[in-house]
C-alpha cells in the first residue's frame, strides 16, 4: 500500500470540482459511475439529504452534489423537494436519472437551501469538472465550514486505488458538526461487500472520533466503486481502513479551536466493546481535553474517565503511558503510581500529538479513539456561530 496524490481524482474515472463564495455558500460536484453504498447519521432528526440518500442507496450512482452553508435539516417537505431538486440539476446536466445522483448538505439547521444560488452555480461547477488533482481539492474545499484544513487522501493497493475526501471539524462534539465523507475506488465489488467494508472502516475511524456514538442530523459516508479492478477483500479492507482512519485523524486534528491531536489507545480490555467505550470516554472527557490543552499530565482524570466508561476495570490492573509517538513515559504500572515522572510527561505534552495508552490488564481486546484538546477558541467559535 502506498499513499498517492489526488484525493478522489486519483481514482480513474472520477472527476470533481467545487466553488464557494464569500458568504460561505459552497457547492461541490463529483462524477464517477458505479455501485455505491452509504453509512448515515443515527440521529432521530434526519436532514433531508440523509432521508433521500437512505432511500437511494445501495444503488448505482453517477454523481454526488454537496452544498455547505445550509444543512437542509428540520425543513420538512420543502427540504426534501430541495434535496431532490439539487440531484435533478446535476442529473439534467449529465443526462442521467436523478435518482442516480447523490446529495449531501452541511451547515446551519432550520434554514431552507438557497436554491437560486445552487441553480446559478451548478453549471459553473459542472464546467469545472476535472480528473486533475486540483478537482478533488476544489470539491473538498467547497464543503468546508469551520474546517481549517483540507481533508483528502488516496492510496494504491495491489494496483487498485481508493481515494477519499472529508469535511468535519467540531471535535468536541463532532457528531453535531456534520461529517461528510466521499470515497471512490476502482475496485469491483458487490453492494454487500462494499457496505460491509465501509461499515467496518467507519466503525474504527469516524465512529471513534465521535463523542458517544451519536450522530449529527447530516452525517454520511458514501463509497462508490467506479472500476473493474481486482483485489482481495482483505487488502481492500486494509486500504479502506487506512483512508478512513487518516481522514478521521485529520478531522480530530482540525477540531474547532484545537491545538493538539489526542490518540487514546486502549489494550487489555475484556471485550472490543469495553475497549471502545473506555477509549471514547477518555477522548470525550472535558477534563482530559482541558488538561491536554494545559499540557498537564493529569492521569487521575484519565483513570476516572475509564472508570466511569462502563467498561470492566480494576484499579490495580491499569497501566497508563503517555507518548508522543517516539518517547514513552509510564505514569501508572499495574495500579501503582510511578513517582518522579511528571516532569518528563509534562515535557512530552508540549508536542502537538499526544498518545495516551492504557492497558486495562484484564483481556486481549483493544481500540483506538481520536480527539483534540478543548480551548477558549472552541468556546469563541461556537458562542459566536450565527443562529
Active site residues: 178
Q: In the set 86, 176, 180, 231, which binds a second copy (CB under 8 A)?
A: 176
Burial class, 286, CB count within 10 angstroms (exposed 0-12 / middle 13-18 / buried 19+)? exposed
Q: What are phi and psi of 71, to 5 degrees?
A: -80, -15
Looking at residue 7, what DSSP letter applies?
G
Any residues with CB less than 8 A from the CB of 339 and at least 6 apart, and which? none
Give the CA diameter of the chain. Answer: 70
Any residues with CB less than 8 A from the CB of 59 and at least 6 apart, and which? 35, 36, 99, 100
Q: Which residues of 150-170 are buried (b: 16+ CB within 10 A; e: fewer)?
A: bbbbbbbbeebbbbbbbbbbb
Nearer to a second copy, 10 or 70 (CB): 70
175 binds a second copy (CB under 8 A): yes
Looking at residue 207, what DSSP letter applies?
G
- The binding track of 228-267 with respect to a second copy, each residue x by CB under 8 A or -, is ----------------------------------------
Q: How far is the CB of 212 from a second copy (least distance, A)?
A: 8
Nearer to a second copy, 90 or 369 (CB): 369
Q: In the set 22, 55, 116, 316, which binds a second copy (CB under 8 A)?
A: 316
Nearer to a second copy, 60 or 342 (CB): 342
Q: How far is the CB of 202 from a second copy (least distance, A)?
A: 17
Q: In the set 83, 313, 329, 356, which binds a second copy (CB under 8 A)?
A: 313
Angle of the 76-94 helix axis to the 115-128 helix axis, nearest 10: 30
Nearer to a second copy, 55 or 234 (CB): 55
339 binds a second copy (CB under 8 A): no
Q: In the set 287, 341, 347, 353, which binds a second copy (CB under 8 A)?
A: 287
Nearer to a second copy, 326 or 386 (CB): 386
214 binds a second copy (CB under 8 A): yes
Q: Which of residues 89-118 bind a second copy (CB under 8 A)?
A: 108-110
**How many residues in total does the chain contain?**
387
Any residues with CB less than 8 A from the CB of 79 and at least 6 apart, and which? 47, 48, 72, 73, 112, 113
290 binds a second copy (CB under 8 A): yes
Nearer to a second copy, 56 or 277 (CB): 277
300 binds a second copy (CB under 8 A): yes
Torsion-angle region of 345 (φ positive above 0: left; ψ -120 to 50: alpha; else: beta): alpha
Stretch that binds a second copy, among 2-10, 85-93, 230-238, 369-377 (CB under 8 A): 369-377
Neighbouring C-alpha atoms within 13 Å toward the C-beta of 21 = 11
Q: How far is the CB of 382 from a second copy (least distance, A)?
A: 4
Q: Which of residues 44-63 bind a second copy (CB under 8 A)?
A: 44-45
- Whether the CB-CB separation of 273 and 366 falls below 8 Å is answered with no
Number of amino acids touching a second copy (CB under 8 A) = 66
For residue 271, give Cα distances in angstroms to 213, 266, 282, 364, 370: 17, 11, 17, 8, 19
Query: Interface with a second copy by CB under 8 A: which residues?
Result: 42-45, 71, 73-74, 76, 108-110, 170, 172-173, 175-177, 212, 214-217, 285-287, 290-291, 293-294, 296-301, 303-316, 335-337, 342, 346, 374-376, 378-380, 382-387
Amino acid at each position: 500500500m502506498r499513499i498517492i496524490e489526488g484525493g478522489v481524482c486519483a481514482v480513474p474515472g472520477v472527476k470533481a470540482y467545487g466553488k464557494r463564495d464569500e458568504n460561505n455558500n459552497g457547492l461541490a460536484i463529483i462524477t464517477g459511475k458505479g455501485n455505491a453504498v452509504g453509512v448515515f447519521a443515527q440521529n432521530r432528526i434526519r436532514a433531508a439529504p440523509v432521508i433521500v440518500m437512505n432511500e437511494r442507496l445501495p444503488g448505482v450512482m453517477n454523481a454526488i452534489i454537496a452544498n455547505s452553508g445550509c444543512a437542509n435539516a428540520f425543513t420538512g417537505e420543502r427540504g426534501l423537494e430541495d434535496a431532490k431538486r439539487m440531484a435533478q440539476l446535476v442529473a439534467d446536466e449529465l443526462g442521467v436519472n436523478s435518482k442516480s445522483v447523490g446529495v449531501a448538505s452541511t451547515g446551519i439547521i432550520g434554514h431552507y437551501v438557497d436554491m437560486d444560488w445552487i441553480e446559478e452555480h451548478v453549471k459553473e461547477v459542472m464546467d469545472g469538472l476535472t480528473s486533475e488533482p486540483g478537482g478533488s481539492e476544489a470539491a473538498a474545499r467547497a464543503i468546508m465550514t469551520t474546517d481549517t484544513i483540507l481533508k483528502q487522501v488516496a492510496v494504491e493497493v495491489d494496483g487498485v486505488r481508493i481515494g477519499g475526501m472529508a469535511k468535519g471539524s467540531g471535535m468536541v462534539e463532532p457528531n453535531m458538526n456534520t461529517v461528510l465523507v466521499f470515497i471512490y475506488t476502482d475496485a469491483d465489488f458487490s453492494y454487500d461487500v462494499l457496505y460491509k467494508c465501509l461499515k467496518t472502516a467507519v466503525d474504527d475511524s469516524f465512529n471513534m472520533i465521535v463523542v458517544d456514538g451519536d450522530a449529527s442530523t447530516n452525517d454520511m459516508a458514501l463509497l462508490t466503486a467506479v472500476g473493474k479492478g481486482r483485489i482481495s477483500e482483505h487488502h481492500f479492507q486494509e486500504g479502506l481502513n487506512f483512508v478512513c482512519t487518516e481522514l478521521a485523524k485529520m478531522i480530530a486534528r482540525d477540531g474547532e479551536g484545537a491545538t493538539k491531536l489526542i490518540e487514546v489507545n486502549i489494550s487489555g480490555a475484556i471485550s472490543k466493546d469495553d475497549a471502545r467505550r473506555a477509549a471514547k470516554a477518555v477522548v470525550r472527557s472535558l477534563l482530559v481535553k482541558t488538561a491536554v490543552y494545559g499540557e498537564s499530565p493529569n492521569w487521575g482524570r484519565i483513570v476516572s474517565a475509564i472508570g466511569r466508561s462502563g467498561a470492566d476495570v480494576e484499579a490495580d490492573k491499569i497501566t497508563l503511558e503517555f507518548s508522543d509517538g517516539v518517547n514513552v513515559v509510564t505514569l501508572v504500572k499495574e495500579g501503582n503510581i510511578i513517582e518522579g515522572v511528571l516532569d518528563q510527561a509534562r515535557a512530552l505534552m508540549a508536542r502537538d500529538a499526544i498518545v495516551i495508552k492504557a492497558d486495562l490488564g484484564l483481556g486481549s481486546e483493544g481500540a483506538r479513539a481520536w480527539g483534540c484538546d478543548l480551548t477558549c477558541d472552541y468556546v469563541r467559535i461556537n458562542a459566536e456561530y450565527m443562529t
